[in-house]
Structure 1
Amino acid sequence: MQNKRLAIFVLLLGFGLAAAVGLPVRVLLDETGLAEVHIQGRHSLWSLAGRLATVEGGRTYRLLADSRGIELTCDSPPCPVQGYVGRLISFVPAEGLVRVGDRDYRGYLRVVWRDGRLLLINKVNIEDYLRGVLPGEVPLSFPYEVLKAQAILARTYTLSRLGSNPDYDLCDTSRCQVYLGADAEAERYDRAVRETAGRVLAYGGRPISAVYHADSGGKTAAAVEVWGSNIPYLQSRDDPWSLDQRWRVTVSPAKVRQVLAEMGHSVASVSSLKVVERGASGRITAMYVGTGSGGLRLGVPEVGRFLRSLGLPSTLASLSGWTFSGRGSGHGVGMSQWGARGFAARGWNYREILAYYYPKTVLTHYQLSASH
């Protein structure tokens, strides 16, 4: 986590007051050739050349990526701004939300032209961003202590991702964190965000890689089992209250061959599958694929991608012939959300839950440095 934007933070060990307001997060909402943006209140439209116009709410703008940049039109001419606007345009609110697709968002919308495509990026305050993340990551019915733990993890994960891409910090899917915008907000989620404002988990003075997953299947995975990196605070832990749902997935030689091709392994045929190594949690860490040209060994992290592409919910599985039988859902590293639910139901608070799943970390606050 050496990216430059982390230099704007000061991590304060202890539980001092957090100055969390104002930290912007850039979230990729879509990458497309054509987009519609509906503004609900007065907004200013800005390009790289400066402010183009101030426009009233209730209008829908259409953006088209052409060979040069962005073409802009609106639903009810005359348009305050129309035609070619360059390679970037921002909708900056004086009031109201902005709608992209079927979702409303706080903050402002930046549209960037990149190689004939439009990147739709929501730039939003981190605490408002979290209000749209929690509904996509944990059920509202879960114990309140789990919601608070999730808010801290989502905030920490967000800080660790700042500056990871020149245009945006995170996407809005499970590949990053699920972000559902303002429509999904609920007071119980909002309160969990407010009551943990600015709190993060740190190791060595930096935000940790705060990964989490749905259900461990009874034992969480160490990072080395999944990504090949030995991280002190991401070790295998017993998870006695996980949901532990069982599943079965049957694959075919044709499907295996297709997945291997997508991963860059071209094989003439597939004759067999064999598990050859397991990690400390029992997850598959290496497999042998029998092929027409001999065989192919897949290890960490490639084997995880291979199994996910075959449709397995997790790598905690056994194999008989072409059928996988397993438990759990997700990569298995860090907090198990269903496991945390079980701990909270038995009286654990969010501090105890986080300390269990992330040993050797410190619960602290971040604030913006004076140089920001």
Structure 2
Amino acid sequence: MMRLLWMGLLLLGFAQAQADLLLRVLLAEAPSASLRLGPHRQQTAYGARDGGAGLLRVTAGPGEVLVDGLGVGPWVEFVAAEGFALEGRSYRGNLLVVWQAGRLLLINRVWLEDYLLGVVPAEVPASFPDAVLQAQAILARTFALYRLNPKGLYDLCATERCQVYLGRSAENPRHTGAVYTTRSLIVSFNQKPITAVYHADSGGYTAASAEVWGNTVPYLIARPDPFAVSPNSSWSRTLAPEAVARGLAGLGMQVGLVQAVTPLLVSESGRPLRLRIVGSSGSVELDAPQSTRLLRGLGLPSTRVRFEGWQVFGQGSGHGVGMSQWGARGLALQGWDFRQILGYYYPGTFLSSFEVVAGLREQLRLAGYPLWPLYRADAFSGGLKLHRIKWAEAWDPMGAGEGQGNH
């Protein structure tokens, strides 16, 4: 029986050869958890043993992991051909459980392409055009490569702090097709994966990275986004002076009772570059990143806003940098493909395979990441040549006809 299981795992590895890279995704950090899996192997620091199908309970014991009450050492990895279910949600790959400071780190070790099958559905609706799903798959893949962390216990988390990952439970054919169609493709700049940030709705104009985070990135610039129209594109909120004071305190600032919030300088994209807060005991001026932290911390959907007293009127949802998912939907409905969409939101970048990103595979190999051979094409690629190419020409949505190649 176990011989058949391990033969199945071996065949699974060959079938997924083009997944290329084994990621480590933190699913949760908790004192205990329940998991369900089929016939499996438990690998520990002290050796390995085979287990049958069923429900298991892992708990943080005194300095070690407990499996159904039995100590197994500082870590245990559950390896099963069909994956596992954690707290009722199913995942592909293996589950690594690590004891740390009295709690458990529950880490999914999963092939990159399999990981994407559970990310793309969580980030963009299945009702969106194929071009958007394909662009999202490429960005999610790029984001994962950018976040590789050989010195840490894991590379990514499964929440919005990284990118949302819902595992096998979220998979569906349309998203899966987008991942397969774009297999191995990433967006690169200077032969490295880009900072592949994206958001829901720009509100009509994307933001430059400098106006949100303070750092200038050449391909993360402000751009018109006229087709970014979502059900929540326009919104309004009422600010409370007490909430603004608490937000300022979180930034290490005090002005007493807050009396007014006034933008002094607004960016090209309509976001505050300098914000004045006047209070009963003084006033402060916030720069763009501080303004972003304050306004988003107050629960505003975005910072593309205007003020009328304590009333705030805004547009869009998210930080506004990089690809707007609703904007991309609008472009796709105009006939744009994923190359044109990505070329517009990340001007001057390249569509690349892993092989052309300078030294990436060798760096990963030296860092101990398992790698499968990278094939040049496959049945799902539609004949795409996986080599460094310039973006196909992408037309300006305002009609300027600007090309997006890296010239």
- Confirm or deny a common fold (TM above 0.5): yes
Task: Give matches, 1:264-343, under 5 Å.
Answer: 264-265=252-253, 268-343=256-331
Q: Please name the residue that 1:79 is paired with.
A: none
Q: 1:56 & 1:328 partners in 2: Cα distance? A: 50
Q: Please name the residue that 2:83 is paired with.
A: 97
Per-residue deviation, 1:266: 5.4
Per-residue deviation, 1:298: 2.2
Q: 1:103 & 1:216 partners in 2: Cα distance? A: 32
Deviations 1:214-254 (CA, angstroms, capped at 9, x unpaired): 11111101111111111111111111101162101112122
Deviations 1:51-76 (CA, angstroms, capped at 9, x unpaired): 2x21112x222222244232221xxx
Q: Secondary structure at the match of 2:354?
A: strand
Per-residue deviation, 1:352: 0.8
Name the aligned partner's letter for residue 56 of structure 1. Answer: G
Q: Secondary structure at the match of 2:140?
A: helix
Q: Please name the residue that 1:44 is paired with.
A: 41
Matched, 1:148 2:129: no
2:255, 2:278 within 8 Å by CA — same for their partners in 1? no
Per-residue deviation, 1:119: 1.3
Matched, 1:247 2:244: no
Q: Please name the residue that 1:14 is paired with.
A: none
2:200, 2:318 within 8 Å by CA — same for their partners in 1? yes
Q: 2:25 & 2:95 partners in 1: Cα distance? A: 10
Q: Please name the residue that 1:9 is paired with.
A: none
CA RMSD of aligned residues (A): 1.8
1:33, 1:118 within 8 Å by CA — same for their partners in 2? yes
Matched, 1:119 2:105: yes
Alignment match of 1:212 (pick from 181, 184, 198) = 198
Q: 2:304 & 2:169 partners in 1: Cα distance? A: 35
Task: Give matches, 1:1-80, under 5 Å.
Answer: 20-39=18-37, 41-51=38-48, 53-57=49-53, 59-73=54-68
Q: Please name the residue that 1:84 is paired with.
A: 71
Name the aligned partner's letter for residue 84 of structure 1. Answer: G
Per-residue deviation, 1:112: 1.5
Deviations 1:184-242 (CA, angstroms, capped at 9, x unpaired): 10111111111110001110010101111111111101111111111111111111101
Per-residue deviation, 1:48: 2.2
TM-score, length basis structure 1: 0.87
TM-score, length basis structure 2: 0.80
Q: 2:153 & 2:361 partners in 1: Cα distance? A: 23
Alignment match of 2:120 (pick from 115, 128, 134) = 134
Name the aligned partner's letter for residue 34 of structure 1. Answer: S
The higher-RCO structure (CA 8 Å, 6+ apart) is 1
Per-residue deviation, 1:264: 4.0
Matched, 1:169 2:155: yes
Q: Secondary structure at the match of 1:369?
A: helix
Name the aligned partner's letter for residue 46 of structure 2. Answer: A
Q: Please name the residue that 1:349 is paired with.
A: 337
Q: Please name the residue that 2:168 is paired with.
A: 182
Per-residue deviation, 1:308: 1.1
Deviations 1:256-280 (CA, angstroms, capped at 9, x unpaired): 2233334444564323222222222
Name the aligned partner's letter for residue 52 of structure 2. Answer: E
Name the aligned partner's letter for residue 314 of structure 2. Answer: G
2:256, 2:282 within 8 Å by CA — same for their partners in 1? no
- Comparing 265-274 with 183-192, greater Cα deviation is found at 265-274
Distance 1:336-1:164 versus aligned 2 partners, 3 A rule: farther
Name the aligned partner's letter for residue 75 of structure 2. Answer: L
Per-residue deviation, 1:292: 3.8
1:37, 1:99 within 8 Å by CA — same for their partners in 2? yes
Q: 1:164 & 1:50 partners in 2: Cα distance? A: 24
Unaligned runs of 5+ residues in structure 2 are 1-16, 366-407
- The alignment covers a number of residue pairs equal to 342
Q: 1:287 & 1:370 partners in 2: Cα distance? A: 46
- Comparing 198-207 with 168-177, greater Cα deviation is found at 168-177
Q: Please name the residue that 2:143 is paired with.
A: 157
Q: Secondary structure at the match of 1:340?
A: helix
**Higher helix share goes to which structure?**
2
Per-residue deviation, 1:156: 0.6
Give every structure 1 segment of 4 or more consecutive aligned residues whose post-TM-superposition deviation is greater than 6 Å: none
Q: 2:361 & 2:150 partners in 1: Cα distance? A: 20
Per-residue deviation, 1:167: 1.4
**Higher strand share goes to which structure?**
1
2:255, 2:282 within 8 Å by CA — same for their partners in 1? no
Q: Secondary structure at the match of 2:141?
A: helix
Name the aligned partner's letter for residue 98 of structure 2. Answer: V
Q: 2:263 & 2:108 partners in 1: Cα distance? A: 43
Alignment match of 2:361 (pick from 341, 362, 369) = 369
Alignment match of 2:246 (pick from 232, 237, 258) = 258
